[in-house]
């Protein structure tokens, strides 16, 4: 589900020109059929540690001087 949300957010911000990020998130959630209540997590730190840890697992092997997304193939 991450891919569709990522695309929907990109569409709202880059294609639709939405500059109100709260509104962009709410619209993106609606675009992919997710409850609008999920948008509230943008203003909480509840999952920050987990997100930072997964980001580090992806970036540590290649360093910071690369673009995203970074994928690793066994």
pLDDT in tens, 52-64: 998 898 889 888 8
- For residues 39 and 29, the answer to whether their CB atoms sit within 8 Å is yes
Give the torsion through C-alpha atoms of 13, 19, 23, 25, to 10 deg: 40
Tokens of 58: 């992806």
Q: Which pTM does this prediction carry?
A: 0.68
d(CA 46, CA 61) in angstroms, rounded, equals 26
Cβ neighbors of 56 (< 8 A, separation 6 or more) are: none
Chain segment 1-51, per-residue pLDDT in tens: 789 999 999 999 999 999 999 999 999 999 999 998 888 888 999 999 999
């Amino acid at each position: 589900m991450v891919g569709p949300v990522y695309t929907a957010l990109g569409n709202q911000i880059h294609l639709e020109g939405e500059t109100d990020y709260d509104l962009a998130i709410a619209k993106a959630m609606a675009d992919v059929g997710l409850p609008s209540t999920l948008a509230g997590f943008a203003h909480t730190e509840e999952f920050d540690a987990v997100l930072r840890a997964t980001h580090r697992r992806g970036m540590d092997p290649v360093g910071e001087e690369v673009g995203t997304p970074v994928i690793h193939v066994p």
